[in-house]
Amino acid sequence: MNVGFAFGTAAAIFFSSTSILVRVGQRTRPDDDGVFMSVFVNVVLLGFAAALATRPEWDTSAIVALVIGGVIGTVAGRTALLRGIRLIGPSRSNAFMTGAPVAAAVAGWVALGETLTPIEVLGGAIAVGGLLWLILARSADTAADHVPVPLSYYLIAAIAPLSFGLAFVFRKWGLERFPSSVIGAFIGSAAAFAVIALIEAGRRRLASRARANFGNVSWWFVAAGVTSSLALLSQFQAFTYLEAWVVGVLQGTQGIWTIALSIIFLRGDERIDVPLVGSVLLVTAGVVLISLQA
């Protein structure tokens, strides 16, 4: 297996594990989606790793790109993903990640000059078809108490792949000019946490958020921070071997891994049905087609 594919797949598995851990933690934290603590753990762990890493020559434009990628991917992307996990569950929320490679492909074509072959376009279309199937099936879905699931919940989850896709391109561009996956991951996480703290301060709840997270630690959220740190490191390593949109495709397989983990750890919490499984199978077929050309 291509080393880049191995790192990209590992990133998807680690991100899926993060989703499961966050979902469990959310059960006892009705007002906390786990973003604050998980990103804080990212900063601590990646900061320690970055302190031991070899520093490349400074490139201001690359650092700015890594900062932007971190803010878009973590603040917008992860916030939407974790909020979606609370609203529609980890399997369905992660299924929306099939849209990440599409956003990455378009942005990569514009900013990085990346191109796609007809077979790759077909693979992407199949993957998006699976996503649309899921959305249409769920738009008329009902919960156990027969209350319709608002379409706005799915729109929130849809923000995640768009944000991640754009973040992939900024991160790839930054790493091409500042070749350190460890330091790059830390820069993005540090920038994201700074923005999250500013948002909480603007809402006048930074102190209360800090007390809630550090005074009564949710070890599920801490564990999610560990797995997401491993995911970020794996993702940044994948960028050194693969194009941004290919990494997006591999991260789009999160839905597959999340279903498997949900069946094991969230029995009774997730409903695995035909539209969900069918959409994931279509995504798998699309990924296979793309991987044959990558």
pLDDT of residue 98: 65
**What pLDDT digit, counting tens, does each position of 39-82 carry?**
999 999 999 999 999 999 999 999 999 999 999 988 888 888 87
**Cα 294 to Cα 289: distance, rounded to the nearest angstrom:** 9
Identify the residue with better confidence: 269 or 25: 25
Q: Residue 201 half-sphere exposure, CB side, CA atoms within 13 Å?
A: 6
The DSSP annotation for 140-157 comes to T-B-TTSPBPPHHHHHHH
**Cα 83 to Cα 239: distance, rounded to the nearest angstrom:** 27
Identify the residue with better confidence: 108 or 129: 129
The DSSP annotation for the chain comes to --HHHHHHHHHHHHHHHHHHHHHHHHTT-TT--SHHHHHHHHHHHHHHHHHHSPP----HHHHHHHHHHHIIIIIIIIHHHHHHHHHH-HHHHHHGGGGHHHHHHHHHHHHT-----HHHHHHHHHHHHHHHHHHHHHHT-B-TTSPBPPHHHHHHHHHHHHHHHHHHHHHHHHHHHS--HHHHHHHHHHHHHHHHHHHHHHTT-HHHHHHHHHHS--HHHHHHHHHHHHHHHHHHHHHTTS-HHHHHHHHTTHHHHHHHHHHHH-TTT----HHHHHHHHHHHHHHHHHHHH-
**Cα 108 to Cα 23: distance, rounded to the nearest angstrom:** 32
pTM of the model: 0.80
**What pLDDT digit, counting tens, does each position of 153-171 carry?**
878 888 888 888 888 889 9
pLDDT of residue 45: 97
pLDDT surpassing 80 at residue 104: no
pLDDT of residue 218: 93
**What pLDDT digit, counting tens, does each position of 114-156 carry?**
666 788 778 778 877 876 676 666 555 544 445 566 778 878 8
**What pLDDT digit, counting tens, does each position of 227-286 carry?**
999 999 999 999 888 887 778 778 777 777 877 787 777 765 556 678 777 877 887 787
